[in-house]
Amino acid sequence: MLCDKCKKNEAKIYYTEIINGEKKEQHLCEDCAMEYSSFQMGTPFMNQEITLGNLLSTILGNYYKENSHSGEHAEKELHCKGCGMTYSEFLKEGRFGCVKCYDTFKKVLEKSIKSIQGSDTHTGKKPKGFETKTEKLVKELPELDKLAIKLQDAIEKEEFEEAVKIRDRIRELKKEEMNNA
């Protein structure tokens, strides 16, 4: 079925809304649904995210329907070990129950987050003192490996003076190791 609005893309979202007591149904493609929701949310004093959340769960619901044909239908029985939220409960509410939900429903979430947000990777602020997995790993490496990474980094950034310093430090350490051994 084609999208009711652009009549070009395939309709993936079944969008229902109630305006002045009348029910209006539309089949929209993801692009049109995003646009549509953005100016359709002007209800007085309503939190705009509420509607967007419902829209998200609609999109997710559609993914689920699609995927269930290809045998991936464990999703519905999936539930979060952190808070007990089930997938169908999430579809209904459009809200997660806890931090762990993001990992529990990761597989179905990934695609749809991209279609709602246009991206699936955070590039903004981090809490003070937050270490990424790589940073943590690097921290635990032996000194020599750490320096090797730093050397590589300095060369990539064309900071050659710094690179020379790091190289000399590596030589020193290697010499010490030899002497100790």
- 9 contact, one of Zn ion, other proteins, none, CB 5-8 Å limit per kind: Zn ion
Q: Is 48 in the site for other proteins (CB under 8 A)?
A: yes
Question: C-alpha distances in angstroms, 137 versus 103, 132, 161, 170?
Answer: 21, 9, 26, 20
- 3-state class (DSSP) for residue 46: coil
Q: What does the alpha-carbon distance between residue 79 and residue 86 come to, in Å, rounded to a whole number?
A: 4
Q: Is 44 in the site for other proteins (CB under 8 A)?
A: yes
What are phi and psi for residue 86, nearest 5 degrees? -95, 165
- 53 contact, one of other proteins, Zn ion, none, CB 5-8 Å limit per kind: other proteins
x/- letters, 54..93, toward other proteins (CB under 8 A):
--x-------------------------xxxx-------x
Q: Is 127 in the site for other proteins (CB under 8 A)?
A: yes
- 95 contact, one of other proteins, Zn ion, none, CB 5-8 Å limit per kind: other proteins
Q: What sign does the CA torsion over 20, 23, 24, 26 have?
A: positive
Please count the other Cβ atoms lying within 10 Å of the Cβ belonging to residue 111.
15
Q: Which residues bind other proteins (CB under 8 A)?
A: 34-36, 38-39, 41-50, 52-53, 56, 82-85, 93-99, 101-102, 109, 113, 116-128, 130, 132-133
